[in-house]
A and B are shown apart, each in its own frame.
Chain A
């Protein structure tokens, strides 16, 4: 039977990456003064599993490297060796290295073994120091003398095997008759049972064995093959295997040419002790396609399907002979169906939900490494790690979060001396928390650092022409300017942040996920970034709006209010734009019929409704003909069979089977050509 092992590779890789996370987190949590044995055990087990799996699935490079890690970890967990900080660092480097190797193997690339080989030499050097009084090799219990094992006899004669099992042997699941059967396959077998020890029937314990055997086996097989059959029972029996020569010819001992075990030559490479750091980014193309689901989620799904089937058969029955008297039963059935459908929908969504700890887990390492680089003392606190979030949202929020954490560590939290001078604890605290609020998940990144320098942001914004000196903006509005493109107020552009992507990219990424991000900052006390994300990307609470014959869907979260337009408050500003003065703000009016080129019921502003929406912190109003119902819609991609359409984030299928476009608010603002960084306050120069 040949089985294609590659079908298990995906699971194997996922498992390895999880195992590496376990190792990394375990190592980071390790208190070197008081080593938690269960923690070390879990790190060992993870390494052990990776080794076992990689050997089985044919990734010997990984197995070889993991073997040395595992050996050292085993010594540490059995307290034969101690763990120090250098050790933790070495293990962490190895975790990185393994992760890279596995990414390369997963992407079917040639693995780059340089670093692994260098790290392996380091481990081997540690292991070579040896343990006092310990025997490094554990002897194989079946390992009879090598030469003896290879004993082969060509001449006339037979193997005499005296097999005296201990009475308890059957209680290990070994059955002597099976051993005899295996021997019989090897050649001609003569069996003689010795029952002299057999007690009287009345005294017979059926759970014990009292028989001994003398076996004569005529075979071409060597002694090793015979003892292999007995390898599981050597400890539970007395066995002697002797060659009985029946000829006068001198027995010859042939050397088995297959003996390679002693010929293993260890190839020591030029042992350069420098470990070069070369961690290439894993290719983005390798995205995990499977999802692991807790059994209870699947069970609840099955229950729900059961209920659905019941409802369906009930309705089916009703449909077979329906009369108007039974209409109330039909209504009941439909209500039940709606209930079933909603529950089913929620359960299916739950399958895609994973605890945010998957995303939070990378931060202990990041904070540890960064505080070294920055010479800062930082405590990381995590809360709400079990808050669940859609897998796709989680994957996409990772990078923006890393960026914000780096920012907080770099620019937010001060160096120990600065903190001391300010009367604060030398150790800064970074808190990551997650919780649910309505249909959203909120992620907060809080630091107790210096807070944003609002004055500096304002100066920079004026210098860049984003705002005017005379603009009367409050601190929150000014702080929000850090999300504008090309904005960096850092004094020093450090290696950690301030280069590469800016906060504008962070906001864009979050907006793409239909989320929002805002910052609150108190000078001297720190800042908090608050990310609000939908729980899932697959379903959206939508407001149906109509323009002429077309029906569009606006995400409910983006809608602020809907109002009838009073022409008295409409002003015409340059560029053919109209703004509505609404309380303290001027709201630019976007005519969907113009942007999309469709024919509305009426072009008169006062005939329609103005739906005020907020996107990327800008408020605008869309003119529509009618506000229809609100409903949850399943988001479908337009790009799958067509292409991205500006101003549209996707499509959905309405109750009647027709397709409707889902509007992309930030995209529409861009498409309409309105250039506003934020809504101007009424009463200023814009009036």
Chain B
């Protein structure tokens, strides 16, 4: 569970990554996670909590990446499997499979959604000016959800646009097309 511990203490990781830190106004903190060997980042301000995977109650007649809903202290929260969402081969959920609970502002107000990812990786402070736009043709990830690409210690991190990724209305229409 080292990934979990790491993510709960962002200041610690800040120090360990000082090569990347620029403490000016343009930096934003990102929580990164791993999926199929790639590292993805989401705005840390949207992250509400990180939980281990638990069985969700399935919802009838929804796309297969919607794993169902869970009870998060009395609130019904949908869980989305990001692998399935991105069309990556589904793997058995393991001990380090986690659910990142996100709070996002959408066209219909604030929504809470959980995403299932392979493992949590790190927290970085990144200068958005160093962000590159995604290439037009991506190998297997739909570029619509990508805010940009950024290099961290010679690794590439894919920053996700959560509003687009989780705006369910839009997902549905996309599927129907």
Contacts and interface: CB of A to CB of B under 8 A. Distances in A.
B61 A645 contact: yes
Interface stretch (B38-46, B75-83, B122-130, B143-151): B75-83
B8 interface: no
A127 interface: no
Interface string B59-74: 1111000001111001
Interface stretch (A268-276, A315-323, A519-527, A635-643): A635-643
B62 A645 contact: yes
Chain A contact residues: helix, strand, loop or mixed: loop
With most chain B CB atoms within 10 A of its CB, the pick from A550, A643, A660 is A643
Contacts of B142: none
Contacts of B56: 659
Contacts of B156: none
A321 B57 CA distance: 37
Contacts of B59: 638, 642, 645, 648, 661
B1 interface: no
Given A638-B59, A641-B76, A642-B59, A653 B71 contact: yes
Interface string A417-453: 0000000000000000000000000000000000000
Given A641-B112, A643-B169, A661 B75 contact: no
Contact of A597 (B60, B74, B76, B112): B60
Contact of A598 (B55, B58, B78, B113): B58
Contacts of A651: 57, 69, 76
B112 A653 contact: no
B57 A658 contact: yes
A500 interface: no
A515 interface: no
Contacts of B172: 643
A636 B69 CA distance: 12
Nearest to B59: A645
Contacts of B74: 636, 653
A647 interface: yes
A542 to B, nearest CB: 15
Contacts of A653: 71, 74, 76
Most A C-beta atoms less than 10 A away, residue of B60, B61, B62? B60
B105 interface: no
Contacts of A597: 60-61
A521 to B, nearest CB: 40
B111 interface: yes
A638 B108 CA distance: 13
A499 B168 CA distance: 37
A596 B71 contact: no
Contacts of B68: 659
B75 A640 contact: yes
Contacts of A205: none
A595 interface: yes
Interface in B101-124: 111-113
A595 B78 CA distance: 21
Contacts of A659: 56-57, 68-71, 76
Nearest to A668: B60
A379 interface: no
Contact of B77 (A641, A658, A661): A641
Contacts of A190: none
B60 A645 contact: yes
Interface string A614-651: 00000000000000000000001110111101111001
Nearest to A642: B78
B78 A596 contact: no
B61 A637 contact: no
A575 interface: no
Contacts of A206: none
A648 B172 CA distance: 18
Contacts of A173: none
A657 interface: yes
B174 to A, nearest CB: 14
A321 B61 CA distance: 50
A595 B76 contact: no
A483 to B, nearest CB: 28
Nearest to A638: B76
Given A596-B61, A647-B61, A661-B59, A641 B71 contact: no
A642 B78 CA distance: 6
A386 B149 CA distance: 64
B111 A641 contact: yes
Contacts of A647: 60-61
A418 B49 CA distance: 72
Nearest to A663: B60
B75 A648 contact: no
Contacts of A598: 58, 60
Given A640-B76, A659-B70, A648 B60 contact: yes
Please indicate which of the listed interface residues B71, B76, B168 has the most CB atoms of chain A within 10 Å of its own CB: B76
Nearest to A650: B76
Nearest to B78: A642
A660 B60 CA distance: 11
Contacts of B75: 636, 640-641
A239 to B, nearest CB: 64
Given A643-B169, A653-B71, A637 B76 contact: yes
B57 A641 contact: no
A658 B76 CA distance: 10
Interface in A596-611: 596-598
A595 B61 CA distance: 8
Contacts of B55: 658
B69 A596 contact: no
Contacts of B70: 659
A596 B113 CA distance: 22
6 contacts: A641-B75, A645-B61, A657-B71, A658-B71, A659-B57, A659-B70
Given A597-B61, A651-B76, A659-B68, 4 more contacts: A637-B76, A642-B59, A642-B69, A658-B55
Interface of A: 550, 595-598, 636-638, 640-643, 645-648, 651, 653, 657-661
Query: 4 closest A-B pairs (Cβ-Cβ)?
Result: A596-B60, A659-B57, A642-B78, A641-B111
